[in-house]
Amino acid sequence: MQQKGPEHRYTRLKYTLAGALFGVCFPLVAWLIDLIHHGLPWTLSSLAQMHSSNPIHWIVDTAPLVLGSIASFLGKSAQEVQRINASLEQRVSERTQALQLALDENQAQKAHLETAKQQAEAALAVRSQFLSAMSHELRTPMISILGWLDLLDKDNLRPEQADSLETIRRSARSLLGVISDVLDFSTGDSGQIKVRNNSFNPTEVSREIWDLMYPTAVTQGIRLELQVTENLEGKYFYGDPAHIRKALKNLLGNALKFTHQGSIFMRCQLRADTLRFEVEDTGIGICQAVQDQIFDAFTQADASSRRRYGGTGLGLTVARQLVDAMGGQLQMLSEKDEGSVFWFDLPARPAPAPPPELLDRSPTPPSRQGLQILLAEDNPINAEVIMAQLEELGVNIEWVENGEEVLEIVQERSFDLIFMDHHMPKKDGVEAAKEIRALDSAVSLIPIVALSASIVEEERQACADAGMNGFLGKPVTQERLQWALGHYGPPPANDDA
């Protein structure tokens, strides 16, 4: 007989254990199903039957019932799974619909907000355009008034007449200042402030504003002192000197308005890598309660200040807009009845000195008698004022009203210099200047000086880009006209140079 090895014995043991396990588990499963489906009494009866009979027979007799119960249990479980799946699908569908509805509402709200934003921006643009247009239109007659006042001042007037004339001049200049503030504010409020990166000397810029405001301080009996640190002398930096001048002028004008006695200090300092411009006064000061609103448009300390001192309340707002555009921050310290300090810091970026021809420090040249001057000005009143000023300087003048007439007459007659308004009908000054420079003749070399009531820096640049030689802002004084004649006009006939 062949001897059976350990593998055979191991296999028999596995089957024996499996049979024993089935024999034990099958009754237990059967009892559990009986207990679930028939209750405790029936289950006990079944156990008693198995105990009194052969277990094998009981298993055979009970197997169909057990298998049927298992099948019934699995069927019910499958139905429950289907029910749960259906419930989950419904809940997912409901949640998906709710999310889609919320998404649609969010999209609608976003579209509504975008529309409202566009409408607000359009309204702001229209308002700014309106303010700019109205300011320009208001400046035009004021320029004529100031021009005639300057001419009348040359007549032999009695003292009382001279006093009355000076009162009119101050009132006109005050109104012109209000108009300029509104124009500056509309430019900043619409986000149209352009910052240039030119070489400038902080000492010269500060001194220009000090020279401009010094006569007012003397008239009010206020001591106005300019303090510049020694480390700034002769140094140039990159920045926008036009915006710095305007901000300093507004700060200094504000200090002069609210200082009745004492002193005002204007400081320019180089601190490590920053330039600080500062105005300190010994005026009425600002109480803590209103300091947070002092930079808001059309705002003054209180209603009584507006009635007593006048003004639009735009000076500090415009100054802040300009400083913000240049990357600085306008700050202040003040105590009521103790005076105020306003200052702003800008990056100190060293720059080379500008070319000599760009430095406007030349003395006023003598006027040129007998020069042939072409004046292009669409406003008859302004033209009359400028012609009267030029006639007193001994020059010959021809007047036209638009750029098309300029192009016609310069090719028919010879002129030494053209004074040309920027804004004119049919063809404006910039377009006319470009076409003159494009001519293939000596006419293209005629010096052109722009005249404009606008104080926007972009217009100055547009005139320069068109080939104009100079720019005079209105109101144009006779002194500035005389300077332009000598600076841009041809040299005297006896000039050896």
Instruction: Give tens-digit pLDDT for 215-266.
Output: 888 988 999 999 998 888 889 999 988 889 989 998 998 898 888 889 999 9
User: What fold does the segment set 196-356 form as a domain?
Assistant: Heat Shock Protein 90 (3.30.565)
Residues in the chain: 497
The CATH architecture annotation of domain 362-488 reads 3-Layer(aba) Sandwich (3.40)
CATH 3.30.565.10 residue ranges of the chain are 196-356
Backbone φ and ψ for 274, nearest 5 degrees, come out as -135, 150
Confidence category of residue 360, pLDDT binned at 50, 70, 90? very low
Cα dist. 210→256, 318, 342, 452 in Å?
Answer: 12, 19, 16, 25
Q: What confidence tens digit (pLDDT) does each residue in 159-198 have?
A: 888 878 877 877 777 777 777 766 766 666 666 677 888 8
List every span in the chain annotated with CATH 3.40.50.2300. Answer: 362-488
pLDDT, tens only, 77-133? 677 778 888 888 888 888 888 888 888 888 888 888 888 888 877 776 776 667 656
φ, ψ of residue 417 in degrees (nearest 5): -165, 145
d(CA 295, CA 300): 9
Q: Can you give the pTM of this predicted structure? A: 0.55
- Name 445's Cβ contacts closer than 8 Å, sequence gap at least 6: none
